[in-house]
Structure 1
Amino acid sequence: MEKSFSIPISRRAFMKLVGMGTVGVLTGAAVHSSKAAAAPIGASGKGLPTLLSADVCVVGGGAAGTAAAVSAARKGAKVVLIERGISLGGLATQGCVFPCMPTFAEGSDTPYITDLNNRMEKQGVSPFQDVTDSDTFYGGGRARYVPEYLSLVYEEMCAEQGVDILYNAALVGAQTDGGRITACIVQTVAGLGKVEAKVFIDGTGDALLSRFVGIPVEKGSEKTGRNQPMSLRFEMGGIDMAKVYHFFRDELKDGWKTPLSDRLIIDALKDGRTPFVEFDKMKTTAKFFQGGVSRGELTKDDVVYIQAFSIPGKPDVMSMNCPEMPALEFSSTDAVSYSKAVSFGRKMMRRLAAFFIKNIKGFEHAYICREASMVGVRESWRIRGKYYMEAEDYLKAHHFADAVCRTAYPIDIHDVKLDLFKKLKKGDYYEIPYRALVTNEMSNLLVVGRCASGSFAAQASFRIQPTCMSMGEAAGIAAAWGLSQNVAINEIKWEEIPESMRSYVSK
């Protein structure tokens, strides 16, 4: 007879599952503490059904996690990818984060990114961005992924490699045994269940799996305790792009007639960026938006950060890289504060949309056609791995023998301006070592994406999507390699894997 598992599970029944130290349950750490100690307690998992078993289990189907899952499967591993939503891509698809930021480092696109870009181009929505001024926007990573196509391509990549995707599955704990993770416990439509594997990859963005198994973590700025501010992005349709262009160029007359600005704005009308930000350089534009504050149409919070991009394949739609909820009021690492930020951000979104429609020519018939279904979190928890990335690694352009990728993206902190902020000289870049993806505590755990091992400032550089993809790609390769060679994941020396099998080789 087929075994069954019903939901809802009663509190009494759940408490019977509670054991000693195999499923992590987060403690109530102070909201503004930069260090957050994990205290694993919880359920033994005894009696829970095994939903899937695999060589590699990846938790989180965002930029890093999907890359890890596909890459591990390409190297012959049987892979399960756990995703709490119903589409892959994370912030790129659910969070309306469009487009990717450039790495400002030539040669940074690893094979997975190149393959993804080629696949997206075949969909008829080219991800490639052409910019005439190579000193402003250069290097790898500068792709534009239309969300509706990206989620489809990600699924196709997983299907080709036999990756099992478990959608609508929220991680609620993990089983461990002797310094190894043996299973993830997830809440699904069918109730609680577990996924067993030999290697686990934390691509949650919030280091959730890592915290459940007791990996040391940090959160927020070491100076202020604050996390970077969150965003709640949206899209608007029904826009007359030509009228928008002429409004900014001919009516605001804020420097748009220079060759560079003209070129960037003309590109924006096709598929690039439009000039809604950088008030320090755009005084007329700044006064225009500040006028909305004076009239009570907008708040000061609304105009701190305004940015918009047009989208390939959507000729009358713009992706709004805003609003940005103030970090002084909201925290991405506090459940109540996070939830209040969503409601606050939605009100900001509506005010901005109403202001655009009323005041910007070309928006007269515009409307909100999409709201993000995922909050844009720039930074929350970060692990303390075998190697801890520091600002100095960026500032001094450090290279590593076990490097898994390169980038020169600046230390981009939206809340706190640090004295160390600077852009590397063109041609310089730093690398991320494999050791920043593994821990001392768990021998079969890899951590990828914005929750990798590093300081607040270092994370502000390596958090961009292309770099997260490359970290995920390397983690997938390492996971499969370690299994094939019977080597513990946290003891692998990336530089000793044959060059032909690595996604990146430090030069």
Structure 2
Amino acid sequence: MEKSFSIPISRRAFMKLVGMGTVGMLAETAMPSGKAAAAPAGVNGEGLPTLLTADVCVVGGGAAGTAAAISAARAGVKVVLVERGISLGGLATQGCVFPCMPTYAFDSDTPYIKELNKRIEMKTGFSPVPNLPETDTHYGEGMGAYTPELLTEVYDEWCEKTGVTVLYDAALVGATVEDGTITACVVQTVEGLGKIQAKTFIDATGDALLSRFAGVPTEKGSETNGRNQPMSLRFEMGGIDVTKVYHFFHDKLKDTWLEENWSKKFKEDVKKGRDPFWEFAKWKKTESFFREGVKKGELTEDDVLYIQAFSVQGKPHTMSMNCPEMPPLMFSATDAVSRSKAVSFGRKMMRRLAVYFKGNIPGFEKAYISREASMVGVRESWRIRGKYYMEADDYLQARHFPDAVCRSAYPIDIHDVKLDLFEKLKKGQYYEIPYRALVTNELSNLLVSGRCASGSFAAQASFRIQPTCMSMGEAAGIAAAWGLSRNIPVNEVKWEDIPAEKRSYVSQ
């Protein structure tokens, strides 16, 4: 499981000095002034050639965007999906994010997620959802272990089958807005600048870039200090004896967390002759092992703040590193130069960790870096101010909404502070995300899904996980098609008025 680990006293003390905040400061997550972040200067599209036209244009092919595009196309509308990379899946594929974090809420998997899991199981013969022990009931649904290359294949086939036109290698650089509607988005391609015209647009960029080009009010970073959540640069290592690594952590380092939570699944996998779905991390019992690397000068203090790795289903002798995590005091996800420097810094961290693992962890003797992320792991950057603004209290009070598009109980997971600043929901509790958090007052034909939906810094720290983003994207695609079929602007669509059988989620 992804966790935020305790940080050294010196850094914690410094964070307090710069206003990291207490429970009250963060839980309020208020910006009385409603001050919006400055919009970037973009290209307005005048005089540019039209590359494609569609009913719905989705910008961003990550967890939310792919779900939105497929869901809209299945509802019978013409869809163009714009992706700046050359594979769909976003952080799950380009960013080596493996696996998805769970929602901790039962019955949270919307139809899109269930079908995605079935499609992967049909290809591999095993479910991407870990077979947890029967006594392990606190994860809920939403947890999936998606092998990046396989996920890319499934997304390509799914888009082709539903008729989604994917425009790869196209970076969004602007938008044309007329009378409160977006008429086109402008992209940079190998041909140069061009525009895509559509009736409805879905911003799934993660950075709210289309929204900002179109003039939607946005926020970024923590309300208390302006800092974004830390970024990661993940990688994979091959040539690993995973079973040997397991026994080192379990038998020598006495990491009983693994035995309590995963041993049944581990034994089943070993019996079937495949690498177990398993993880090691810098827990309290193993922290001294990694800190020994700092004492020897092989690792830095920053390297050991966050260490975690997962074995990868379908990729024998491979582990996916959920690290390194670049220090948030040094780098910002919303500063272009800083974000670039973070990549270089993270790559140095990555190589130090790989060398340390290879030289100090039994089972890594023949290991090597087999893959580096081609996308920096941004947890939070810009967020829109939509018709409804999610607050920490929506989570803490487990609020439900008549226009809810999904549910979650994933904690307010701020990697810059200790997790115990916020009380976790009780077993069986969950909160919901309303459709109104996906639409704006300013633009009639824009939906926003994924981690840049409308909410505070603390609220976003809960709804940013992949399954929740998928469900938001699924709802956005359904609503976009519904609005077009009824000639209703998407920011006037009432999710609860869509027939229950056509909705991906119905609040209970």
Aligned equivalent of 1:13? none
Aligned equivalent of 1:310? 311
1:275 aligned onto 2:280 = yes
Describe the SS at the equivalent of 1:343. helix
Relative distance call for 1:249 and 1:64 in structure 2 (3 A) is same
1:66 aligned onto 2:66 = yes
Describe the SS at the equivalent of 1:409. coil
2:380 maps to a residue whose letter is E
CA distance in 2, matches of 1:289, 1:130: 29
Aligned equivalent of 1:193? 194
Aligned equivalent of 1:95? 95
1:62 maps to a residue whose letter is G
Q: CA deviation at 1:37?
A: 2.5
Q: CA deviation at 1:257?
A: 8.4
1:382-421 pair list within 5 angstroms: 382-417=383-418, 420-421=421-422
Aligned equivalent of 2:45? 45
Q: CA deviation at 1:260?
A: 4.2
Native 8 Å contact 2:45 2:185 kept in 1: no
Q: CA deviation at 1:247?
A: 1.2
1:423-434 pair list within 5 angstroms: 423-434=424-435
CA distance in 2, matches of 1:302, 1:34: 37
Aligned equivalent of 1:237? 238
Aligned equivalent of 1:184? 185
Aligned equivalent of 1:141? 142
Q: CA deviation at 1:255?
A: 3.3
Aligned equivalent of 1:351? 352
2:45 maps to a residue whose letter is G
CA distance in 1, matches of 2:259, 2:491: 53
Q: CA deviation at 1:46?
A: 2.2
Q: Deviations over 1:60-88 (max 9, x none)?
A: 00000000000000001100000000000
Native 8 Å contact 1:413 1:457 kept in 2: yes
Aligned equivalent of 1:172? 173
CA distance in 2, matches of 1:36, 1:69: 28
CA distance in 2, matches of 1:273, 1:34: 44
Native 8 Å contact 1:256 1:262 kept in 2: no
Aligned equivalent of 1:461? 462
Relative distance call for 1:134 and 1:169 in structure 2 (3 A) is farther
Q: Deviations over 1:219-265 (max 9, x none)?
A: 11111211000000000000011211121122222436855464476
Native 8 Å contact 2:262 2:278 kept in 1: no
CA distance in 2, matches of 1:227, 1:136: 32
CA distance in 1, matches of 2:258, 2:235: 29
2:199 maps to a residue whose letter is K
Q: CA deviation at 1:131?
A: 1.2
CA distance in 2, matches of 1:340, 1:259: 40
Relative distance call for 1:278 and 1:253 in structure 2 (3 A) is closer
Q: CA deviation at 1:199?
A: 0.1
Q: CA deviation at 1:381?
A: 0.3
Relative distance call for 1:241 and 1:380 in structure 2 (3 A) is same
Describe the SS at the equivalent of 1:315. coil
Q: How many residues align?
A: 471
CA distance in 1, matches of 2:256, 2:427: 26
Describe the SS at the equivalent of 2:51. strand
Native 8 Å contact 1:126 1:312 kept in 2: no
2:114 maps to a residue whose letter is T
CA distance in 2, matches of 1:34, 1:347: 39
Native 8 Å contact 2:282 2:290 kept in 1: no
Aligned equivalent of 1:80? 80
Q: CA deviation at 1:43?
A: 3.8
CA distance in 2, matches of 1:273, 1:231: 20
CA distance in 2, matches of 1:291, 1:267: 33
Q: Deviations over 1:20-68 (max 9, x none)?
A: xxxxxxxxxxxxx995533465544222110000000000000000000
Q: CA deviation at 1:108?
A: 0.5
Bigger mean CA offset, 34-43 vs 289-298: 34-43
Query: TM-score when scaled to structure 2?
Result: 0.90
Native 8 Å contact 1:34 1:221 kept in 2: no
1:308-347 pair list within 5 angstroms: 308-347=309-348
CA distance in 2, matches of 1:134, 1:330: 41
Describe the SS at the equivalent of 1:364. coil
2:115 maps to a residue whose letter is D
Sequence identity of aligned pairs in percent?
A: 72
CA distance in 2, matches of 1:169, 1:236: 30
CA distance in 1, matches of 2:81, 2:58: 5
Describe the SS at the equivalent of 1:432. strand
CA distance in 2, matches of 1:267, 1:462: 33
2:281 maps to a residue whose letter is F
Describe the SS at the equivalent of 1:231. coil
Aligned equivalent of 2:162? 161
Aligned equivalent of 1:55? 55
Native 8 Å contact 1:265 1:275 kept in 2: no
Structure 2: segments with no counterpart, 5+ residues? 1-32
Relative distance call for 1:45 and 1:486 in structure 2 (3 A) is same
CA distance in 1, matches of 2:82, 2:444: 20
Q: CA deviation at 1:275?
A: 2.4
Relative distance call for 1:67 and 1:412 in structure 2 (3 A) is same
CA distance in 1, matches of 2:316, 2:433: 38
Bigger mean CA offset, 269-278 vs 92-101: 269-278
Aligned equivalent of 1:11? none
Relative distance call for 1:34 and 1:134 in structure 2 (3 A) is farther
Native 8 Å contact 1:72 1:477 kept in 2: yes
1:84 maps to a residue whose letter is R
Native 8 Å contact 2:44 2:174 kept in 1: no
Native 8 Å contact 1:40 1:213 kept in 2: no
Bigger mean CA offset, 409-418 vs 374-383: 409-418
Aligned equivalent of 1:19? none
CA distance in 2, matches of 1:268, 1:322: 25
Native 8 Å contact 1:265 1:274 kept in 2: no
2:102 maps to a residue whose letter is P
Aligned equivalent of 2:127? 126
Query: TM-score when scaled to structure 1?
Result: 0.90
Bigger mean CA offset, 183-192 vs 260-269: 260-269
CA distance in 2, matches of 1:302, 1:159: 42
Aligned equivalent of 2:204? 203
CA distance in 2, matches of 1:389, 1:470: 16
Native 8 Å contact 1:35 1:219 kept in 2: no
Aligned equivalent of 1:368? 369
CA distance in 2, matches of 1:42, 1:303: 40
Native 8 Å contact 1:171 1:185 kept in 2: yes
Native 8 Å contact 1:306 1:323 kept in 2: yes
1:457-496 pair list within 5 angstroms: 457-496=458-497
Q: CA deviation at 1:136?
A: 6.3
Aligned equivalent of 2:19? none
Q: CA deviation at 1:426?
A: 1.1
1:229 maps to a residue whose letter is P
1:417 maps to a residue whose letter is K
